[in-house]
Amino acid sequence: MSFTAQELEARKQAIAKSRSEEEQRETPARRRIAIVTGSTSGIGEGIARALAASGCNVVINGFGDALAIERMRMMIEAEHNVTCLYSNADMTKSEQIEGMFSTVKEKLGPVDILVNNAGVQHVSPVEDFPVEKWNLIIALNLSSAFHTTRLAFPDMKARKWGRIINIASAHALVASPFKSAYVAAKHGILGFTKSTALEGAQHGIRVNAICPGYVRTGLVENQIADTARARGISEEAVIRDVLLAAQPTKEFVKVSDVAAMAVFLTTEAANQINGAALSIDGGWVAQ
């Protein structure tokens, strides 16, 4: 098949037009603003760094050594040429979450990407489960996502674009003994993900859950000792017979695996992924 010079020119122009439309869809007029709760360490830190690398201004949050957090904030700004704010809001306190949202809006603008990641674990037989630990886990691992989501939704709806990523767990899909509060909260956040995904679907908002298997962060290091105590076995046995026994690959999930998925969910290619539970667990829940 041969084309005249005029036809070739028309085709070139059509391709250039469709490329520029695609770019416009993928490149927002301003940098996107992302909040990652619980991002002073572990998975949240990895996600915050990856979102900054993808060009977002990011808000990091969580507890820890003030100097180390400030160093991290400055490094993110310097490495990725973005703005990075730190909020010390306690995600178990609704008024502090509200304060964080108004400060972010005032300093950076409305939130485009919300990653609900802050979470803790406690391992204990249910009859001995400390009531304050139950209340903490439900408040942090579940209710904090309700507060951040209710605060993020109005601006996302108004701007017709928003991405909410809930860091759930394989424990949102299956249970383990001695983790009643965690399993309850993680199953709960998956239900919350689905419900809010339906509410946002026609407003350009996408809500998804990532369900990682074991990632060797501080949260898991503490669990190894606690599980050894609860089951009366050694820490080596916990790693071999409990943690990696669950994962057919016999490998821990990496923080970077979870961070890459979170960034993907913010791209145009993920536009039809909504209300999903995305497992990154080496095949754990497939068994």
Which residues are registered as beta bridge partners of 167?
210
257 binds ligand NAD, rule: CB under 6 A: no
38 binds ligand NAD, rule: CB under 6 A: yes
H-helix or E-strand spanning residue 87 = strand 84-87
Among 50, 62, 115, 164, binds ligand NAD (CB under 6 A): 62
Residue 214 annotated to the active site: no
Measured between alpha carbons, how far is 125 from 111 in angstroms, rounded to an integer?
39
- Among 182, 214, 252, 284, the active-site one is 182
Encoded tokens for 110: 């409305």
| SS3 label, residue 115 | strand
212 binds ligand NAD, rule: CB under 6 A: yes
Question: To the nearest whole angstrom, how small is the minimum distance from the Cβ of residue 42 to ligand NAD?
Answer: 2
214 binds ligand NAD, rule: CB under 6 A: yes
42 binds ligand NAD, rule: CB under 6 A: yes
User: Which positions from 123 through 162 interact with ligand NAD, judged by CB under 6 A?
Assistant: 140-141
Question: To the nearest whole angstrom, how small is the minimum distance from the Cβ of residue 185 to ligand NAD?
Answer: 8
Question: To the nearest whole angstrom, how small is the minimum distance from the Cβ of residue 200 to ligand NAD?
Answer: 21
279 binds ligand NAD, rule: CB under 6 A: no
Q: Are 61 and 36 in contact (CB under 8 A)?
A: yes
Q: Which residues of 266-275 are buried (b: 16+ CB within 10 A; e: fewer)?
A: beeebeebbb
Measured between alpha carbons, how far is 285 from 247 in angstroms, rounded to an integer?
9
Measured between alpha carbons, how far is 182 from 227 in angstroms, rounded to an integer?
14
Among 53, 184, 220, 230, binds ligand NAD (CB under 6 A): 220
Which residues are part of the catalytic machinery?
A: 182
